Amino acid sequence: MLERRKPLDLLFPLKGNASSRNEEEEIQPPTTLDRLRAGVTLARDAVKAVSVTAMEAIREGAAFIGIVGETNQLVDPFSHLDAPIWSEEPPAELHKLAYRYCEELTMREAGNFYHSFKYLPEEQRLAMCAIYAFCRRADDIADGDWADRFPGSKGEMDPEATAYRQQLESLQDRGTILDEEAYLNKITQLFFFRKKLSTCYGDVHSTDPVFLALKDTVQRYTIPREVFDDLISGMEDDLYNNRYRTFDELYVYCYRVASVVGLMCIEVYGYENPMARKYAESWGIFMQLTNVLRDVGEDIGRDRVYLPLDELENNGMTEGELDGKIVLNKHWEPYCRNYAARARTYLEEARALLPLLPRRSRYSPAAMIAFYDKILRQIEKQQGDVFTKRVKLNKIQKISLAAAVYLRHRFLPAFLDPVWGALARLGVLPSV
């Protein structure tokens, strides 16, 4: 069996290094790198603000402003504004417009995820859309070609952005894996992305609809800034690292890009038992480990290897085989089985999250967990062949799983839940 690291064995919440600790040990103080990242703020007196007159004009026409262009593209309703913050708190109409933008972005970019939380009460659904939009845009900067907007900045030549980049490089003690032009573009955008994040926890309001909606969300549900900062840190890590030597290193990455999303979500869902945070961490680890295995072929084409290199070597495989020849290696299928078994230890803990959430909120995480469990089972069924074609669920599989999840977690009386679980273990009912 492959090594498994339990949630909280690293740091909870993660504080920037991979040292192990016991749950009862004291949380380590922030590192210099943590302080650098968390110290990025946007002050009112440092930038230009949109005038009250402009705000009033937009407020009056908010009902007529569209977020979908003539060619059906998503349009930022505030893109014409030449300042990064509002001079005063924007009126309710503009908050609604910002949420509409986030919801449309979510429906377009992540239909499956949107389906998983569209049954939440409206306030929670919109909050989930704001969180998704934040995560989506961060990923689009780091791993796509999204050109984020920060009015008034000098781009890559901005003194603050340059100073941040230089300090980040000195503390990481490593160079970028990208070409210089792409690197400067992305690290600068992520710096200003952090600046906009700071508006959610300060006295200013961003003119970016994602952060305008996100500020309202974090205030309603008291979501700590560190989980959003950690996600941006994960995106920055992708600019410096495309190989992971050990599972500990991979765990840190999975925590930053996935577990923190689970920790954001449960604040919206609602919970009382603090164990929910531990299980939310496992939820993210399970989903990201599944992503890593599913995307091995695509990632190697982008010169990225997320599978721990020491595990490949210890199992008689090389990185050079990951172009697809590895399916011919007699060790690959057993490795995939062990990898899936380890992922399922986190799946068990992710499922333990569900009873700790209000019944009205369970469908959302339960659906995502069920979808990813099915993907992992298909990878095993295909003997680890994730190279011939992308492993994904067809429409019938999605509908049947969604129906089972909805029935169990929305309608099934609590006293019958153990019965469903027992029948699922026997294979009579789906394991959702």
pLDDT per residue over 294-337, tens digit each?
Answer: 999 999 999 999 999 999 999 999 999 998 899 999 999 999 99
SS3 at position 394: coil
Q: Within a domain: residue 197?
A: yes
Least confident stretch, 11-25, 91-105, 219-233, 275-289: 11-25
Residue 381 class from Cβ within 10 Å (0-12 exposed, 13-18 middle, 19+ buried)?
Answer: exposed
Domain around 154: 43-223
Give the pLDDT score at 6.
Answer: 54
- Picking from 5, 4, 7, the residue whose alpha carbon sits closest to that of residue 276 is 7
- Please check the confidence at residue 360 and state whether its pLDDT lies above 70: yes
Q: Are the C-beta atoms of 196 and 215 separated by less than 8 Å?
A: no
Which ranges constitute the DSSP H helices of 144-207?
A: 159-172, 180-198
Share above pLDDT 70 across residues of the chain, in percent, rounded to a whole number: 93
User: CB 80: neighbour CB atoms within 10 A?
Assistant: 10
* Mean pLDDT over the full length of the chain: 88
Q: Within a domain: residue 64?
A: yes
Give the pLDDT score at 28.
Answer: 66
Q: Within a domain: residue 280?
A: no
pTM greater than the 0.75 cutoff: yes
Which ranges constitute the DSSP H helices of 89-121?
A: 92-109, 111-117
Q: Within a domain: residue 210?
A: yes
pLDDT tier for residue 39 given thresholds of 50, 70 and 90: confident
Q: Within a domain: residue 348?
A: no
Beta strands 85-86 and 49-50: pairing type?
A: parallel
Q: Within a domain: residue 93?
A: yes
Q: How far apart are the first and last CA of the chain?
A: 25
SS3 at position 14: coil
CA dist 378 and 419 (Å) reads 26
CA-CA-CA-CA torsion sign (413, 419, 423, 426) = positive
- Please check the confidence at residue 16 and state whether its pLDDT lies above 60: no
pLDDT tier for residue 64 given thresholds of 50, 70 and 90: low
DSSP 8-state secondary structure symbol assigned to residue 58: H
DSSP 8-state secondary structure symbol assigned to residue 9: S
CA dist 306 and 241 (Å) reads 10
Q: Within a domain: residue 217?
A: yes
CA dist 51 and 86 (Å) reads 7
Name the helix (H) or strand (E) containing 314.
Answer: helix 309-314
- Please check the confidence at residue 24 and state whether its pLDDT lies above 60: no
Total domains in the chain come to: 1
CA dist 73 and 69 (Å) reads 5
pLDDT tier for residue 27 given thresholds of 50, 70 and 90: low
Give the pLDDT score at 10.
Answer: 41
Structural tokens at position 287: 């989903």
DSSP 8-state secondary structure symbol assigned to residue 52: H
Task: Give CA angle at 129 (125, 134), nearest 5°.
Answer: 150
More confident residue, 393 or 209: 209
Please tell me the total number of residues recorded for the chain in this structure: 432
SS3 content of the chain, % helix, strand, coil (to 5): 65, 0, 35
Give the pLDDT score at 17.
Answer: 30
DSSP 8-state secondary structure symbol assigned to residue 86: E
Give the pLDDT score at 231.
Answer: 97
pLDDT tier for residue 135 given thresholds of 50, 70 and 90: very high
283 Cβ neighbours under 8 A, 6+ residues apart? 259, 262, 346, 349, 350, 353, 365, 369
Give the pLDDT score at 8.
Answer: 46
- Picking from 15, 17, 13, 12, the residue whose alpha carbon sits closest to that of residue 248 is 17
Mutual angle of helices 92-109 and 209-221, in 10-degree steps: 100
Q: Within a domain: residue 157?
A: yes
